[in-house]
Every structure is written in C-alpha cells, then in structure tokens.
Copies of this chain bind each other. A is one copy, B any other.
Amino acid sequence: MSKKYVLALDLGGTNSVLGIVDREGKVLATSSFKTQAYPVLEDYVSTCASEAEKLISTYGCEHEIHAFGIGAPDVNYWNRTIENATNLPWKGVVPLTDLLEQKMHLPVRITNDAKAAALGEMLFGAAKGMKDFMMITLGTGVGSGIVVNGKLVYGKNSFAGELGHSTIRPENGRACPCGRKGCLEAYCSATGVARTAVEFLEKDDAPSLLRSMAVDEITSKDVYEAAVKGDRIANEVFRFTGKLLGESLANFATFSDPEAFILFGGLTKAGDLLMNPLKETYDKEVFENYRGTARILVSALKDAEAAILGAAALAWLDASGS
C-alpha cells in the first residue's frame, strides 16, 4: 500500500471522466471523453487506457498507481460487470472491468455510482470516520448507497439500496417512471419537485411567479428561484418535498440505525427551504430509539469532483489487499 495515487473513472451515459486522485482526495488531473463515441466496448477500453496513460505520463506518476476505480450505472458488483444498462452504448453483460485489467495491468474495481458516492463521502467527505450511514442522491432520480459497519450493502444480486423506489405513498401514490406508484423518486427528485409545483399550481388559485411558465417547462431550479423570491406556492413545494423526505429517512432509520444521512445532488441546493421541513419532520416522525441519534448532512464534496472521488475511494478501499 505504498503507492500514492489511484485512477478513477466516472462512467456516465454522456461523458466519461478520468482522474488521478491521491490518498487525501485531491484530484490531481482529469480528462474526459464522450461515452457514446465508442459503441464498440473494446474501442472504449482502448480509449480509456490511452487517456489514462496520457494523464499518468503528463503527471509523471507511472509507478505510483495503486488501483483503478470505476463508478457506473447498472453495475453487478459481485460479477464485476455492467448489466443491461439503458443509458450506455453496450448491451447485455459488459465485462469492462476484466478488459481494463488485462489492458492496464492494474487491479480494477467497479461499483454503482450512488454506492461509489457513499464511499467518497466516507473516505473524503461528510461521512469521514463513520461506519453506519446512508447516502441519498437527489438528482433527476433518487439513488442511495447504504454503509453498514464500514461496508457497502450489496445484497444477493447487487441491487441493494434502491431506496428511491421504496413506496412512500402506498395509497393513491403518484406514478413513477419505474411503472409503480408512490415511489420516493416520484416526489423527492428534481422531476418530482417540478411535478409537485404543477400539482400545487393546479389546485391553488394564488398568484405565483411560476404561472408565467408553460407547465411542462417548469424545473426544480425554477421552483427554487421562485421560492427564494418569496413565492408562496414555490415555498410550499419545498416544504412538501422536505416533509416527505423527512418521513422517508425516518423509515430508513429502522433498517440500519445510521449515524448519519448524507444528501447529495441538485435538490440540496435548496438549502434550508428543503432541510428545515425535512429535519423537523424527521425529528417528529422517527421511532423513539433513533430520536436525536442520526445527523442529516449535505455532501461535503464539490459537485464536479464527487463522482471521481467516489470511484477513487472504491479503488483505495476495495483494492487495498491487492
């Protein structure tokens, strides 16, 4: 364990971002390329390897790379593969990890992006020193990574931690893109906030800055901007969202008695508009054993670096025995 750096890859549907990261979570250099430009997996692997070599040689750290960590969607951690990804160019079971290991002669580790984010917070961010916490990512969808006794929870088929698809409104719940109803993601994602705004505008006659927009163009950012200007309906949207998220976290506590919930993603930009009703509801709703025990924190990592740091944390933690 004497090497100084890891390689990290944030493999997204649009962009792939490579980085070199040290033990303290400093991102020394990054490079990015378009994921969709490589419909053939082997071409992607070659590009990835050559981009990594360029970064390494530019930085002059040829013999200092400990391992290579990847955060990606639809990962089967147990099989070390990407499986049936809907937003990536490669179909079926994708042996990216094995191919990169053969090409680069480095230990390569892969996990799902929300799980990588949890490891990033544990090693470099708001969960430093914690062994039991839940990472909740509030973006277009709602993702999660659950850490129990210092380890990510993967489960039998590597699908653990789909808390965005836990049902929070079992009766008359809102339709979720997953085909089910009442999922957390249908309410407490960026799209959920926009949907709540449209619903609130329809059932309330009050004037609102949002009424000047076409309902199908309202975004969570628009709702936030209206809310900070004092718009009543926009404020109610965040109060509602925070309340549902607070109820949900109170429920999640019954699973693993976490030390903290770490929130990440666009919605957290709403700050107190979201966090105040969230914390208030959590404190009110949580089972007595958990009252006052878990902190509700926002990620301590920079947005632009969080995904790379998650992949880097995986490389430091999961390849430590290599």
Chain A residues within CB distance 8 Å of chain B: 131-132, 146, 148-149, 151, 153-163, 165-171, 178-180, 247, 250-252, 254-259, 285, 287-290, 293-294
Residue from B151, B170, B257 within 8 A of A247 (CB atoms) = B170
- Which residues from B are CB-within-8-Å of A293? 156-157, 159
Q: A169-B170, A287-B165 are in contact. Are A258 and B178 (CB under 8 A)?
A: no
User: Which chain B residue has the least Cβ–Cβ distance from A162?
Assistant: B254
- Which residues from B are CB-within-8-Å of A169? 170-171
- Which residues from B are CB-within-8-Å of A294? 156
Evaluate contact between A166 and B256: CB separation under 8 angstroms.
no
Evaluate contact between B257 and A163: CB separation under 8 angstroms.
no
Q: How far does the alpha carbon of A223 sit from the alpha carbon of B126 in the complex, in Å? A: 51
A135 to chain B, nearest CB (A): 13
- Which residues from B are CB-within-8-Å of A163? 254-255
- Which residues from B are CB-within-8-Å of A258? 155-156
Residue from B170, B178, B257 within 8 A of A155 (CB atoms) = B257
Evaluate contact between A285 and B167: CB separation under 8 angstroms.
yes
User: Which chain B residue has the least Cβ–Cβ distance from A167?
Assistant: B251
Q: How far does the alpha carbon of A257 sit from the alpha carbon of B287 in the complex, in Å? A: 23
- Which residues from B are CB-within-8-Å of A256? 146, 153, 155, 160, 255
Q: A156-B132, A171-B171 are in contact. Are A255 and B288 (CB under 8 A)?
A: no
List 6 tightest A-B contacts by C-beta distance, closest first: A155-B257, A160-B257, A156-B259, A159-B257, A165-B287, A159-B289
Q: How far does the alpha carbon of A265 sit from the alpha carbon of B308 in the complex, in Å? A: 47
Q: How far does the alpha carbon of A255 sit from the alpha carbon of B294 in the complex, in Å? A: 18
A260 to chain B, nearest CB (A): 9
Interface CB pairs A-B, < 8 A, 18: A146-B255, A148-B160, A153-B255, A154-B257, A155-B258, A157-B257, A157-B289, A158-B257, A159-B289, A159-B290, A162-B257, A165-B254, A165-B287, A166-B251, A166-B254, A168-B170, A169-B171, A178-B288
- Which residues from B are CB-within-8-Å of A132? 155-156, 160
Q: A132-B155, A153-B148, A170-B247 are in contact. Are A178 and B287 (CB under 8 A)?
A: yes
Given A159-B290, A161-B255, A178-B288, 4 other A-B residues pairs in contact with their CB atoms under 8 A: A146-B256, A148-B160, A154-B257, A157-B289
User: Which chain B residue has the least Cβ–Cβ distance from A294?
Assistant: B156
A105 to chain B, nearest CB (A): 29
